[in-house]
């Protein structure tokens, strides 16, 4: 409420203040006065279902509901009279008569509680296990508040089959009290509407259409419904039996550039679960499946490699840190600049990225530091630098009047963006989408321009030309993209004459070989004042990598290598002569143009097989699937602290929650910046006396504008200074391809974290598995005579690859979609596709056959 004026009211005997326009309940909450509730929630519309929030208000008859009565100046509210208590007790007893309640009103409850958390498979039942005993049950709170110890109604068990078939969370609607919070959350806030009340009367239950499972019903597995459920009806599989958490810290999600603020709970020193922070500016209390459910398994997986290892005389041997550091130093000594290369993942923290580039530039005296972010930044670094100069504001989406979304699907990636788009639509915005396959936004689009695969850019170009240059002859564009004239006219009708336009570009379409139209039309759009652009990219801390110079051509502070002033500044700060070489990029290594003697991979494994080099050092959280010579175990996001830059340019804190001592069980992982500094010290190079990540951040803030000092990370919007001194590259447009047979469309995968694809570690993601195999339309599948899961062989010239078929009607006819992971760790199956991943053009005409025919 924009209104700032305050009102005064009295609760029981206490006089309090509250902002004007809030409900009586909210006024009480703001003043720490407890009124029991089970159905109201501050983010949701009032529902008036549980009636527990009744109060007495002087001058009003009966017992008004505090959750739907607006507080007035001078109101006198009684929250705890005898009469109210009696009604509430009655109501709760009625609820409990339909809710398994022996754990609540059992005579042994007090004695039983301390022992309910025993070893799960002990074969002894300790305590009743109806629901997760994590202290989050609001029904328990209410029962305790009212002191209910027995029931005067007969108990009914609803006999619903608990639903455990979906990934990530279980649903036991026998525990459901029909408060409707999950439904309102899913409909009002998320805009996904997976849940609704089905049937009526005593048959009412929460569910999906035709009782479908959540995967089929369009659930995004965001977990928002679990967060608001006042009972144990909805519960996260992974953390459900962890018990009451010991504490929590607020951290930044490590999985994408949105940088959601999450509260990480821990129990007995271990991470337990992640829940989005309620009033966070970036994500507004929401998250996606990756941040909400995929943290524990990625960090705690049994394959996690936590000890330094080295290949010695053909044997793979465990090393002490001293030995490992010594070995690394020995191999790195006396190398010429072109004999060494380091690749670093954009998922690393600012501190690690900065230390890595400083290490290469001062210790190795070379510019051969490259970030794998380069592979997902289609259009080139200069283009992205320019994009980052314009403000990017996620929270502006919901205020937009017109939204143009290109190549965007927000179901399992960037789902925060989808939530904001749907909020805008609820407020009356118009949505136009350009997509070759049906996306989760198609349902909400006012116009969906369904284009031929990989022609999204051509369509955008056509729109820009007619919106801003009044072009009318668009025959060529329409023909190439396969869009009807009338459809384009519809889209233009929606977009024309609007004073603001929000353009959101999905991360997948930048990877096409011919992205010239896309890049040039986005560039043109970015020059218009009333157009906001949100370009999405994979790689959590890509902005950090650019700002801190984790590329051969960029220096810390996001300036071009040739810049005299910055070079001088760095030379005097680091007391070295700055290297002048061009540096080895990931592209050159992948193309086989360069062969470094020693290759050092920091959390980046963009190879399916061992890259060609004499000595391979890998520093990551998992060992790669091929032979390495030295493995240095890095800490995961849960185990070490640092900062990350999100897509808006905010520098956000990512403190770890697990501070476990070295041991056989916990291993001996170290932060990336620590490992690199130790090697530098071993080689007698000064300037690496960092004790903590804070020391590194302090140095960063001295050398790169916009970065705060440690201890002063403000999470506020911060546009980092990005100077475009990188020379612009002109994108080359490839010839129009001729069509025959199928078109193989390759898109980057969105599930890598450092060197692994997290799908390989997270069970729930394996069930969803949105990226495995060849995706094709059901009609095509019928013609080829294949069914879901059967093997297909795809051939282009002398290159071919085999994988299983995934039949999806979202895929247009005549196309085969394939996801190319950015990191191969753990993806043994997709390694068979390497030849296809290295095809020269994307999309590429291919032959498709069933294996064995």
Partner 1 sequence: MVVKTAASVLEKFSTRRENLIPMLQKVQEVEGFISPESIKLISDKLRISENEIYGVSTFYAQFRFTPPGEHSIYVCMGTACHVKGGQQILNMLEYELGIKEGQTTEDGRFDLNRVACLGCCALAPVIKIDDKIYSQMSVLKLMDVLEKYTQSVEVTDE
List residues near partner 1 by CB under 8 A: 187, 192-200, 207-210, 217-218, 443-444
| Separation of alpha carbons 213 and 509, rounded Å | 30
Taking only Cα atoms into account, the Rg of the chain, rounded to an integer number of angstroms, comes to 29
Binding flag, residue 48, ligand FES (CB under 6 A): yes
| Separation of alpha carbons 502 and 392, rounded Å | 10
Binding flag, residue 518, ligand SF4 (CB under 6 A): no
Tell me which stretch binds ligand FES (CB under 6 A): 48-56, 272-280, 453-461, 604-612. 48-56
Using CB distances below 5 to 8 A depending on partner kind, what does residue 196 bind out of ligand FES, ligand SF4, partner 1, none?
A: partner 1
Using CB distances below 5 to 8 A depending on partner kind, what does residue 190 bind out of partner 1, ligand SF4, ligand FES, none?
A: ligand SF4
Which is nearer to ligand FES, 49 or 706 (by Cβ)?
49
132, 259, 379, 603: residue in contact with ligand SF4 (rule CB under 6 A): 259
Binding flag, residue 225, ligand SF4 (CB under 6 A): yes
Query: Between vectors from CA 322 to CA 320 and to CA 325, what angle results, nearest 5°?
Result: 110
Instruction: Give the shortest CB-44-to-ligand FES separation in angstroms.
Output: 10
Which is nearer to ligand FES, 26 or 240 (by Cβ)?
26
Using CB distances below 5 to 8 A depending on partner kind, what does residue 176 bind out of partner 1, ligand FES, ligand SF4, none?
A: ligand SF4
Instruction: Give the shortest CB-677-to-ligand FES separation in angstroms.
Output: 55
Residue labelled with tokens 């185990």: 639
Closest CA to 399 of 425, 418, 419, 417: 425
Binding flag, residue 221, ligand SF4 (CB under 6 A): yes
Give the CA count within 13 Å in the CB-facing half-sphere of 44: 25
Q: Coil, strand, or helix at residue 411?
A: coil
258, 451, 501, 630: residue in contact with ligand SF4 (rule CB under 6 A): 258
Which is nearer to ligand FES, 44 or 815 (by Cβ)?
44
Query: Between vectors from CA 639 to CA 638 and to CA 641, what angle results, nearest 5°?
Result: 90
Which is nearer to ligand SF4, 181 or 301 (by Cβ)?
181
Angle between helix 456-468 and helix 485-495 axes, rounded to 10 deg: 60
Contacting ligand FES within 15-34 (CB under 6 A): none
Binding flag, residue 69, ligand FES (CB under 6 A): no
Q: Coil, strand, or helix at residue 794?
A: strand
How many chain residues interact with ligand SF4 (CB under 6 A)?
42
Which is nearer to partner 1, 228 or 844 (by Cβ)?
228
Binding flag, residue 37, ligand FES (CB under 6 A): yes
Which is nearer to ligand SF4, 542 or 585 (by Cβ)?
542
Binding flag, residue 84, ligand FES (CB under 6 A): no
Closest CA to 177 of 209, 143, 147, 210: 143
Using CB distances below 5 to 8 A depending on partner kind, what does residue 538 bind out of ligand FES, partner 1, ligand SF4, none?
A: none
| Separation of alpha carbons 802 and 403, rounded Å | 39
Q: Coil, strand, or helix at residue 11?
A: strand
Binding flag, residue 52, ligand FES (CB under 6 A): yes
Q: Which two tokens stand for residue 119?
A: 């070893």
Binding flag, residue 77, ligand FES (CB under 6 A): no
Q: Contact at 8 Å (CB) between 204 and 62?
A: no
Instruction: Give the shortest CB-186-to-partner 1 separation in angstroms.
Output: 9
| Separation of alpha carbons 133 and 242, rounded Å | 8
| Separation of alpha carbons 52 and 685, rounded Å | 68
Binding flag, residue 186, ligand SF4 (CB under 6 A): yes
Query: Between vectors from CA 246 to CA 113 and to CA 276, what angle results, nearest 5°?
Result: 115
Binding flag, residue 39, ligand FES (CB under 6 A): yes
Binding flag, residue 90, ligand FES (CB under 6 A): no
Residue 412 is classified by DSSP as S
Closest CA to 608 of 827, 310, 316: 827
Instruction: Give the shortest CB-489-to-partner 1 separation in angstroms.
Output: 18
Binding mask 399-418 for ligand SF4 (x = CB under 6 A): ---------------xxx--
Contacting ligand SF4 within 228-247 (CB under 6 A): 228-231, 233-234
How far, rounded to the nearest angstrom, does the alpha carbon of residue 174 sit from its chain's CA centroid?
Answer: 32
| Separation of alpha carbons 673 and 692, rounded Å | 9
Binding flag, residue 42, ligand FES (CB under 6 A): no
Which is nearer to partner 1, 208 or 752 (by Cβ)?
208
Q: Coil, strand, or helix at residue 667?
A: strand
Closest CA to 762 of 821, 826, 670: 826
Strand partners, 742: 846
Which is nearer to ligand SF4, 219 or 488 (by Cβ)?
219
16: number of Cβ within 10 Å: 18
Instruction: Give the shortest CB-531-to-ligand SF4 separation in angstroms.
Output: 24
Binding flag, residue 182, ligand SF4 (CB under 6 A): yes
Binding flag, residue 40, ligand FES (CB under 6 A): yes
| Separation of alpha carbons 53 and 68, rounded Å | 9
27, 28, 65, 697: residue in contact with ligand FES (rule CB under 6 A): 65
Binding flag, residue 49, ligand FES (CB under 6 A): yes
Q: Contact at 8 Å (CB) between 88 and 54?
A: yes
Contacting ligand SF4 within 151-180 (CB under 6 A): 176-180
Contacting ligand FES within 552-611 (CB under 6 A): none
Instruction: Give the shortest CB-142-to-ligand FES separation in angstroms.
Output: 10
Query: Between vectors from CA 328 to CA 662 and to CA 689, what angle results, nearest 5°?
Result: 65
Q: Contact at 8 Å (CB) between 558 and 547?
A: yes
Binding flag, residue 220, ligand SF4 (CB under 6 A): yes
Using CB distances below 5 to 8 A depending on partner kind, what does residue 812 bind out of ligand FES, partner 1, ligand SF4, none?
A: none
Which is nearer to partner 1, 203 or 738 (by Cβ)?
203
Binding flag, residue 756, ligand FES (CB under 6 A): no
Residue 621 is classified by DSSP as S
Binding flag, residue 181, ligand SF4 (CB under 6 A): yes
Q: Is the dihedral of CA 297, 301, 304, 307 positive or negative?
A: positive
Ramachandran angles phi, psi of 247, nearest 5°: 175, -175
Chain length of the chain: 853
Using CB distances below 5 to 8 A depending on partner kind, what does residue 50 bind out of partner 1, ligand FES, ligand SF4, none?
A: ligand FES
Helix or strand (DSSP H, E) at 169: strand 169-171
Q: Contact at 8 Å (CB) between 517 and 460?
A: yes
Which is nearer to ligand SF4, 258 or 454 (by Cβ)?
258
Binding flag, residue 50, ligand FES (CB under 6 A): yes
Q: Minimal CB distance to ligand SF4: which residue?
A: 291
Instruction: Give the shortest CB-401-to-partner 1 separation in angstroms.
Output: 17
Ramachandran angles phi, psi of 693, nearest 5°: -65, -25
Binding mask 285-304 for ligand SF4 (x = CB under 6 A): --xx-xx-------------
717: number of Cβ within 10 Å: 15
Instruction: Give the shortest CB-422-to-partner 1 separation in angstroms.
Output: 10
Using CB distances below 5 to 8 A depending on partner kind, what does residue 197 bind out of ligand FES, partner 1, ligand SF4, none?
A: partner 1
| Separation of alpha carbons 264 and 253, rounded Å | 10
Cα maximum dimension of the chain: 89
| Separation of alpha carbons 550 and 351, rounded Å | 11
Binding flag, residue 746, ligand FES (CB under 6 A): no
Q: Which residues bind ligand SF4 (CB under 6 A)?
A: 176-182, 185-186, 190, 192, 194-195, 206, 214, 219-225, 228-231, 233-234, 253, 255-256, 258-260, 283, 287-288, 290-291, 414-416
Q: Which residues bind ligand FES (CB under 6 A)?
A: 37-40, 48-53, 65, 67
């Amino acid at each position: 409420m924009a209104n700032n004026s305050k009102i005064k009211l009295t609760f029981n005997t206490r006089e309090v203040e509250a902002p004007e326009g809030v409900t009586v309940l909210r006024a009480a909450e703001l003043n720490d006065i407890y009124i029991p509730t089970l159905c109201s929630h501050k983010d949701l519309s009032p529902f008036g279902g549980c009636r527990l929030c009744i109060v007495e208000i002087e001058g009003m008859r009966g017992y008004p509901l505090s959750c739907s009565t607006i507080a007035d100046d001078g109101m006198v509210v009684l929250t705890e009279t005898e009469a109210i208590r009696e009604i509430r007790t009655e109501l709760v007893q009625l609820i409990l008569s339909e809710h398994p309640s022996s754990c609540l009103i059992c005579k042994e409850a007090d004695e039983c509680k301390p022992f309910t958390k025993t070893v799960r498979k002990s074969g002894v039942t300790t305590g009743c296990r109806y629901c997760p005993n994590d202290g989050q049950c609001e029904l328990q709170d209410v029962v305790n508040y009212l002191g209910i110890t027995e029931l005067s109604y007969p108990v009914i068990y609803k006999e619903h089959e608990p639903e455990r078939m979906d990934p990530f969370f279980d649903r036991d609607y026998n525990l459901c009290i029909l408060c409707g919070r999950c439904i309102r959350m899913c409909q009002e806030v998320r805009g996904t509407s997976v849940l609704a009340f089905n049937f009526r009367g005593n048959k009412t239950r929460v569910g999906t259409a035709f009782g479908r499972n959540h995967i089929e019903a369009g659930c995004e597995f965001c977990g928002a419904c679990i967060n608001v459920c006042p009972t144990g009806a909805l519960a996260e599989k992974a953390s459900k039996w962890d018990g009451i958490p010991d504490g929590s810290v607020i951290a930044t999600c490590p999985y994408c550039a949105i940088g959601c603020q999450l509260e990480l709970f821990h129990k007995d020193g271990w991470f337990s679960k992640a829940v989005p922070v309620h009033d966070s500016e970036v994500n507004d209390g929401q998250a996606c499946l990756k941040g909400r459910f995929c943290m524990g398994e990625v960090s705690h997986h049994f394959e996690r490699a936590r000890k330094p290892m080295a290949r010695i005389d053909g044997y793979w041997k465990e090393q002490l840190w001293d030995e490992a550091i010594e070995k690394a130093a020995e191999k790195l000594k006396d190398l010429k600049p072109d004999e060494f290369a380091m690749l670093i993942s954009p998922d690393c923290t600012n501190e690690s990225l900065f230390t890595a580039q400083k290490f290469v530039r001062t210790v190795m005296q070379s510019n051969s530091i490259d970030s794998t972010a380069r592979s997902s930044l289609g259009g080139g670094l200069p283009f992205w630098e320019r994009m980052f100069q314009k403000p990017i504001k996620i929270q502006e989406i919901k205020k937009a009047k017109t939204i143009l979304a290109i190549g965007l699907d927000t179901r399992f990636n960037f789902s925060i963006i989808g939530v904001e788009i749907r909020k805008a639509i609820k407020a009356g915005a118009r949505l136009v989408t350009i997509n070759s396959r049906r996306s989760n936004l198609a349902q909400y689009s006012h116009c969906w321009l369904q284009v031929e695969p990989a022609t999204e850019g051509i369509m955008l170009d056509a729109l820009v030309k007619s919106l801003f240059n009044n072009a009318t002859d668009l025959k060529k564009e329409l023909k190439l993209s396969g869009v009807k004239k009338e459809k384009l006219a519809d889209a233009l009708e929606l977009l024309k004459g609007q004073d603001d336009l929000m353009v959101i570009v999905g991360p997948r379409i930048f990877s096409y070989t011919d992205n010239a139209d896309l890049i040039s039309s986005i560039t043109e759009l970015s020059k218009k004042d009333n157009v906001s652009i949100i370009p999405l990219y994979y790689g959590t801390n890509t902005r950090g990598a650019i700002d801190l110079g984790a590329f051969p051509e960029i220096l810390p502070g996001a300036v071009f290598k040739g810049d005299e002033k910055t070079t001088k500044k760095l030379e005097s700060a680091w007391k070295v002569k700055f290297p002048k070489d061009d540096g080895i990029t990931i592209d050159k290594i992948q193309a086989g143009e360069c062969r470094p003697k020693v290759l050092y991979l920091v959390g980046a494994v963009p190879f399916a097989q061992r890259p060609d080099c004499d000595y391979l050092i890998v520093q990551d959280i998992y060992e790669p699937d091929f032979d390495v010579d030295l493995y240095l175990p890095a800490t995961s996001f849960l185990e070490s602290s640092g900062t990350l830059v999100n897509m808006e340019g905010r520098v956000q804190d990512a403190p770890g929650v697990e501070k476990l001592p070295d041991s056989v069980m916990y291993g001996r992982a170290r932060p990336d910046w620590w490992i690199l500094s130790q090697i530098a010290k071993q080689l007698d190079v000064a300037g690496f006396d960092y004790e903590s990540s804070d020391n590194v951040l302090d140095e960063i803030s001295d050398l790169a504008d916009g970065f705060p000092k440690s201890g002063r990370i403000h999470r506020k919007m911060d546009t980092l200074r990005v100077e475009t001194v990188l020379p612009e590259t002109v994108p080359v447009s490839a010839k129009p391809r001729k069509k025959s047979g199928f078109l193989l469309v390759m898109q980057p995968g969105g599930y890598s974290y450092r060197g692994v694809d997290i799908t390989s570690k997270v069970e729930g993601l394996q069930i969803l598995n949105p990226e495995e195999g060849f995706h094709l339309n059901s009609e095509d599948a019928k013609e080829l005579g294949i069914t879901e899961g059967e093997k297909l062989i795809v051939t282009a010239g002398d290159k071919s690859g085999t994988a299983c078929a995934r039949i999806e009607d979202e895929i247009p006819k005549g196309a085969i979609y394939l996801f190319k992971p950015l990191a191969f760790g753990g993806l043994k199956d997709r390694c068979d596709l390497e030849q296809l991943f290295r095809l020269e053009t994307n999309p590429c005409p291919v032959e498709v056959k069933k294996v064995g025919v």
